[in-house]
Structures are given as C-alpha cells and as structure tokens.
Structure 1
Amino acid sequence: MSEPVAASPEAAFKQQHPEKFSQYIKRHWTVFAVAYFGYVCAYLVRNNFKLTSETLRLENGWSLTQVGLILTGFTISYGIGKFVMGIVVDRVSLRKAFAGALGGSALVCILMGMVNQVWIMFGLMLLLGTIQGVLSPGSQSMIANWFPNRTRGAAIAVWNTSQNLGGALLPLMVGGIMGSSMSNRVQYSFWIPAAIVLVLSFVFWKFGGDRPEEEGLPTLREIYGKTGVPMAEVRPEGTAWQLMVKYVFTNRLIVTIGLINAILYFLRFGVLNWMPAFLGSEMGFTESQYTMAFSVLEWIAIPGSFFFAWVAVKLPNKQSLVGGIGLLILGVMVYAYHVNTNYTMLLIISGIMGALIYGPQLIINILTLNFVPLEASGTAVGFVGLFGYIVGELAANLVMPILAEHMSWSVAFMFLASTSIVAALLYFSLAKQEKTVVQA
C-alpha cells in the first residue's frame, strides 16, 4: 500500500487556521489594490511640469536649457531618492511611508503650480524626486510581503502596468484642462491632479499594507513554507548595513539586474525621448504621426505587460529566460524601427517595442524581489532603480544625440540595438541561479 501524500504547508495551515487564512486572503487583495492604484496616483503628480513646460517656458521667458535643467533635477533626485528611500522603506511602516510620500508629492505639486522662478522650480523638482523615491520600493515591498512565490511574479507584472495607466491618464487630464476656457489653466494642471492624490493618500493611509506579522497575520513562510518566499532557507542576521552589503551591494545577481535595468532604461528613453527628432527631422514623418507612434508604444505596453504577467504565472522561476528572449526580439525591432519609412509599419513596430521594453522591465522587478530576502527588498528595488535613472536615462539623454550628431542616427540606433543583445545575454546568465532560489 502506498503511503498517503503529505499535505502542502498551505493546505495544512488552511485546515488548522481557517479564519487566519481567510483574513490573509482578503487582506492581500486589498494591499495589492493600494499598491496598484497608489502607484497610478504617483504619476498624476510626477510629470505635470513636463507636460506644461513649453507653456511655462514661453510665459516666463525661460530658455530650453533652463527647462532641461529642471527636468534633470527630477531625474537625478529620483534616481538617488529611490535608492535611499528603498533603504528607509525596509525599516519603517510600509503603509505610512507609501501614503505619506503620496501626500507629500501632492503638496509639492500644488506648490509647483504657484512658481514662476527657475531655481525655485528646480528645487521643488529635486524635492519631488526625493519624496517619490519612496513609492516604487514601497509598493513593491507591499506585494513582496503579501504574495508567495507562485503569484508574486504575476502580481508584480500586473502592478507594473500602473505606470502606463498613470502615465496615460495625466496627459488626458492636463490636455482637458489646457483645452478648457478656465483661467489659470497651467496652475490647475498641477492643482487638480494634486488635490485628487492628496485626498486618496488618506484612503491609502487607512487601507495600505504593512508586513503581515505587524498586522497580526501569519507570514508567507508560515503559510506556504519554502514556496512562500525566495531564499526560504536564509535567515538574515546582522546589522542593517551588513544586510545591505551582503544581499545587495556585493550580490552578483542584484548587480547584474541593475546593469540590465540601466540598459532597459537606455532603450526605453533612447527610443521615446528622440522620437520627434528622429522620426520628424530624419525620417520625414509628421508631428501627428510620430505623436501617434509615441502613444501606441505606451498603450500597447499595457496588454504586453499582461502577457508577461500570464507568462510569469506559467513559468514562475524562469523569468530570466523570458526576459532574455524578449530582449533579443527587441534588438531586431529597434533595427527595423530605424530603417522603416512606412507609417503603418511604424505603428506596428512601435507597439511591439512597447511590449518588449516594458515586459522585460517588469521582469526586473520580479527578479529583484526573488534574489533577496524580504528584509532587503526595498533596498534592492532602490539600488536597481538607481542604475536605471542615473545610468540608463542620463545615457539616453547624452549618448544618443552625441552619436547622431557626430556619426549618424543609424549608428546611434545600431548601438541601441546592440545593447539589447547584451542585456539579453545578462538575463540568460541568471537562469540557473533563479531556479535554485525560487521554489515554485
């Protein structure tokens, strides 16, 4: 007679503690909703200046260089802030940090609507970037603490679409305000989104998620055993600094993910930021045509991300292979993009690029959380994000025009495509270790 199959840790816990398990299930969906819609709100008070910058420039007599300086202030402070605040997030209440940062961002956004001096606006952008640095590691840490291995990747993948939704909603709001007959339209482009976010920040303060054990609920390890959290056998010990050094700064896997993230940001902004100059001046497309291509890239990224979310469910510990394959195809699409002269093909290629930029980028978020203990999750997210903004986006703003002006656009985009291949190879180098640390 064969021996009975032992119940899984999840089944055993559910049988022994049905009420606690039911509470956890209900609560973890609430936490996800806060993490998702809270990050949508982050974008409603992030790009207001970018969308109104030309009107502000003309009204106040600012130069293009001054506008660029203000925008760079956010890029630098957000990159550094994401890292520093990621460290903070690991040591404070996730709920309070996340909701507080949203409220703080809204207040800064309101102040920005009252400013017409370059250096004051620059200072506010520095402050905004620092405060917003809490939001990505804070929301991802919520998910990491409430979702087990088999569903964490899918949850992060769906969460990743919040940036596309928020990024798409703000232009619609600002466009509606700027196209209205109300006075002080530029100011209201800051004030109305900020007022909405400020009110919602109180809702998120009430319903946001702290770590389960801080809410009197069982941890993922208690419910799911070794399939609950990555590196299930690891019990982190030491000071906060020692944990950061061991699991983040000297962790080959996290450093590799950081490099991939830098390349992905280079690819993302290398395409997006230079669409008007390349498609308009170089390739002869009209403003409405390249604006539509920009929009298609962002919108198709949403169903593309959902596709990668579905793959994450099917292959929870093979995300590095999925990301690598996606980036190999992206390299081909970047090459096709730079030689294409047909408008219909431009829209198709732009949509595919959107899916293949944001899809592998969400895998970055999944792998970052999978390669560190929960105690270092916020720090790891911030560290990887630092690579994206300080290395990747700045490189896109500087390297692409240098290559285009001193060589050619063809050289610039061939270089961009080649970095996609390099990132794919870096992804593949993580495959073996991923299977080891993530028990699905």
Structure 2
Amino acid sequence: MTHYSKKRYRILAMVFITVVINYLDRSNISVAAFAIAEDLDITSVQMGYIFSAFAVTYSAMQIPGGIIVDYIKPRVLYPSILTLWSLATLVQGFLSSLGGFIACRAAIGFFESPSYPENNKIITKWFPENERATAIAIYTSGQFIGLAFLTPALVLIQDKLGWRGLFIISGIIGIVWAIVWFFFYKDPPEQAPNDTEKPATTENKSEENDITPINPSFKWDDLKEAFIHRKLWGVYIGQFCLGSLFIFFLTWFPTYLVKYRGLDFIESGFLASIPFLAAFAGVLISGFSSDFMVKKGFSNEFSRKAPIILGMVLSTGIIAANFTDNTAWVITFLAIAFFGNGLASISWVFISLLSPKNLIGLIGGVFNFIGGSSAALTPIIIGYLVEDGDFEPALYFIGSMATVGFLSYLFLVGKVERIKPKLSSSDFN
C-alpha cells in the first residue's frame, strides 16, 4: 500500500469518527430524556417536540447545506459546523426550560445539515470510483456501530455525572475533534503517484455515464415532475415509513425500556445496543445480497425490492413486543424489527434507477425531505400516544408504518425502470 493509499484511508477513518460524533450528539438526548423529564417536569408530549426539533431544521436545511458544501473547503467547513453543533450540545447541560431544549436541538439540526453532503464530497475527492462504494459503506456504518457502542457509554457517563454532565462531555468531545480535524485534514493532491492511485478529482470520463444530466437548468415543470409519478410516490412513502422506525430507536427507545419496561437504567443502556447491532448487520446483508443478485442475473424488481420488502415485513415484528413481559423476548422482537429496518435501507438505489436522467438530484432532494419529515413528525405523534404512560399504541403505530411501507413498494413502485418525463421541457426524444 502506497503512502497515498494510507493517507486516503486515514481520511476515511476521520470521516468515520466524525459520523460517530454526529450521532453521539443526535442520540444523547434519548439517553437523557427520562431523567430530564423527571427533573424538569416535562411531559411526554413536550419531549416529543424536543425530539422533533432537530429533524425540522436538519431536513429543511438539506438543500442549502449541500450548496454550502460546494463553496467552502472541508478543512474550514467541517470544524466550523462541528464546533457550532457541539457548543449547542454543551449548552443543553445548563438548560432548565422546554424552550431552551427545543432551540438547542433545532440548532444542532441546523449545523449538522451539511455533514452528510460533506462526507460524500470528501469521499468523492479522495477515492476513485471503483473504491467509492466501499468507502461510503464504511463511514455510513458509523451511525449504527456508533449507536451500538455509544449508548452503553452514554448511560455510564450519565450515571456518574448526571444528564447535565452527559451533554457537557458530549459537547467537549465534538469541540476537541473539530480542532483535530482542522490540523490534520488535507485535500488530496492534484496528481497521485501513479494511475492506480489517481485521486478522484482527476477522474473524468469514468463518471460520464448514464446519469449525466442532459439539461442542468432548473424549470418549474421539473419540480412538478417530482410529484406526478406513482413510482416516485411509492419510494417517497416507503422512505417516510422507514424513517419512522429509525427515529423511534433514535429518540424514544431508551425511555421505553426504562419507563414502560421498568429496566434498570444501566441495564437498559447495554440492552439498547443489541437492536443497533442488528440494524448494522441488516445494512451490510442488504447491500451485498442485492448487488450479488444483480450480478447473478436477477431482475432489478427482485434484486432491489426483495431486501426492502422483506425488511418492511420484519419491521412489523415490533408489534410482537406488546404481547410479552419477558425482557429477552422484547429485545429480540425489537432487534428483528431494526434488522428489518437495516435491510430496507438500500432504498436510495431507487432514486438512481427510477429518476429521469436530468432530475436525479432534484428527486433525491424531495425523497430525502419526505423521508426526513418522518423524523420531525413521528416523535411528536409518539409523545401523544404515550401520554398516559402506555407504549403499546406507539408500537402499533410503528408497526402500521412498516406495513404501509411494505404495501407501498409492493403496489406503487411497480416495474423498476427509468421514468420518462411528462411535463419537463427536457424530454428525451
């Protein structure tokens, strides 16, 4: 392995760590929620609004955040937003009001919004096309691996330092990492040592493929195009349903274990890691098996839909937790459900397969916005459903969302083929 190869994998490791910290500051509120609610007399409905505040600004800023990424270098932008969202995280340790928590969670979502576009830009710069999918899989796995191993650690920190100490420690970690990033991140050289080590910035013709935009100029008919096709609504609805289960685990899950299932707080932290590990396995199995089936000659309908449809079916298994008081079975059913969520997480592939060639970016933005809106709405809905302390209606709701997602992919998406625009002036003739 050459020096250039070693350096690009060091950069990948830095991105991976940043993803872990990103999810540290998203998920610490779920660990602290039960204690915050007790100390500050915050109701479940109010906690739902706190949980959703992050998603509102995060989703709304996806497109502007992507634009910012195009204009500011990673060495400057990443430590800047890392510092700002870490400061907002740290400030939570000094709050005593509902409004303050909502404002800080919204600020974290606002400043984290450019992070995933930035990750993609960095990997595109450093890795050639034939290595990029592996690099992306490695850094995205950080969200599940991070959550699996961080949840017990966060629980232990809160047990020793209280929920205020948890936020302060989380914020300090992010600020320290921002300093490390600024001093150690470098953009790739314009020329690599040899052709096999060619930096991604020098690639050209290899990426001039089937999805190159024919007409990059925006037209209002293009926006309408994103909403008039049944196939696209199939994946939009599916993504909303997929996000509903994910955000349950990212927000209400620890409260469910402690408040409703009556688990010891420390015990709940370790048990909570099991579904995250299951989701991690689901993501890897889904990606590898789907690509394997394509290579073996199976149709896109089967190869791409099968993991998602199976994943949605497994996700409905969360309802089974309502029918047992045995902790081992509860965790088993929740792990199966989150494993299914991981299986269904290859849904982004449908954007590249279905979208008109000149509208992939726009339709991807709509897809991500609708999917992200579930993270804004679901915590609030669950907050109302569990207002009397009973989580059973919440699990029925999540299970019903998985069912809707299953039906959406089964009956709305139909044949997996590229859509021909109906309204856009840039039709393919």
The answer as to 2:277 corresponding to 1:299 is yes
Quote the Cα distance in structure 1 between the aligned partners of 2:48 and 2:41.
Answer: 14
How far the C-alpha of 1:91 sits from its partner, in A, is 3.8
Q: Tell me by how many angstroms 1:112 deviates.
A: 1.6
1:86 touches 1:380 (CA, 8 Å); kept in 2?
no
How well do the aligned residues superpose, as a CA RMSD in angstroms? Answer: 4.7
Q: How does 1:60-139 map to 2 (within 5 A)?
A: 60-139=40-119
Counterpart of 1:326 in structure 2 is 307
* CA deviations over 1:25-79 (Å, ceiling 9, x no partner): 4554344323222111112222333322332333334444433332222221222
Aligned equivalents of 2:271 and 2:85: distance in 1? 30
Q: Tell me, which stretches of 5 or more residues in structure 1 are unaligned?
A: 1-20, 435-440
1:422 aligns with 2:400: no
2:167 aligned residue: 190
Is the aligned partner of 1:154 residue 2:134? yes
In 1, distance between residues paired with 2:415 and 2:117?
22
From 1, 22, 46, the equivalent of 1:42 is: 22
The one-letter code matched in structure 1 to 2:369 is L
Structure 2 residue 55 is the aligned partner of structure 1 residue 55: no
Instruction: Determine the C-alpha separation between the residues in 2 that align with 1:76 and 1:261.
Output: 16
Q: 2:176 aligns with which of 171, 192, 199?
A: 199
**Equivalents in 2 of 1:29, 1:426: separation in Å?**
42
The change in CA–CA distance for 1:373 and 1:29 in structure 2 (over 3 A counts) is: farther
What is the SS of the residue equivalent to 1:29?
helix
In structure 2, what is the equivalent of residue 263 of structure 1?
A: 241
CA distance in 2, matches of 1:381, 1:308: 20
Aligned counterparts of 1:154 and 1:426: Cα–Cα separation in 2 = 32
The alpha-carbon distance between structure 1 residues 358 and 427, as it changes in their structure 2 partners (threshold 3 A), is farther
CA change 1:350–1:357 in 2 (3 A) is same
- Tell me how far apart the structure 1 counterparts of residues 109 and 204 of structure 2 sit (CA, whole Å): 37
- Alpha-carbon shift at residue 329 of structure 1 (Å): 1.8
Q: TM-score, normalised by structure 2?
A: 0.73
Report SS of the residue matched to 1:107. Answer: helix
Give, in angstroms, the shift of residue 335 of structure 1: 4.6
> In 2, Cα distance between the equivalents of 1:107 and 1:169?
23
Q: By how many angstroms is 1:93 displaced?
A: 2.5
Residues in 1 aligned to 2:86 and 2:279: alpha-carbon distance in whole angstroms:
26
Give, in whole Å, the separation in 1 of the partners of 2:98 and 2:40. Answer: 9
Structure 2 residues without counterparts, runs of 5 or longer: 193-197, 420-429
- Give the equivalent residue in structure 2 for 1:438: none
How many angstroms apart in 2 are the aligned matches of 1:247 and 1:140? Answer: 27
What's the secondary structure of 2:205's corresponding residue?
helix
Between 1:125-134 and 1:367-376, the stretch displaced more is: 367-376
Report percent identity of matched pairs.
Answer: 16
Matched, 1:357 2:341: yes
Deviations 1:227-251 (A, max 9, x none): x46546447644xx56995799579
1:388 to 365, 371, 389: 371
**Counterpart Cα distance in 2 of 1:278 and 1:44:** 19
Q: Could you tell me how far apart the structure 1 residues matched to 2:83 and 2:314 are?
A: 40
Question: What letter corresponds to residue 387 of structure 1 in structure 2?
Answer: I
Relative to structure 1, is the Cα distance of residues 189 and 381 closer, same or farther in structure 2, using a 3 angstrom cutoff?
A: farther
Query: How many aligned residue pairs are there?
Result: 402
Q: Which amino acid is 1:351 matched to?
A: A
Tell me the distance in 1 between the aligned counterparts of 2:225 and 2:125: 18
Mapped partners of 2:200, 2:224: distance in 1: 20
Q: CA deviation at 1:95?
A: 4.2
**Higher mean displacement: 412-421 or 106-115:** 412-421
Secondary structure of the structure 2 residue equivalent to 1:330: helix
Mapped contact 2:245–2:398 kept (Cα < 8 A) = no
Deviation at 1:106, TM superposition (A): 0.9
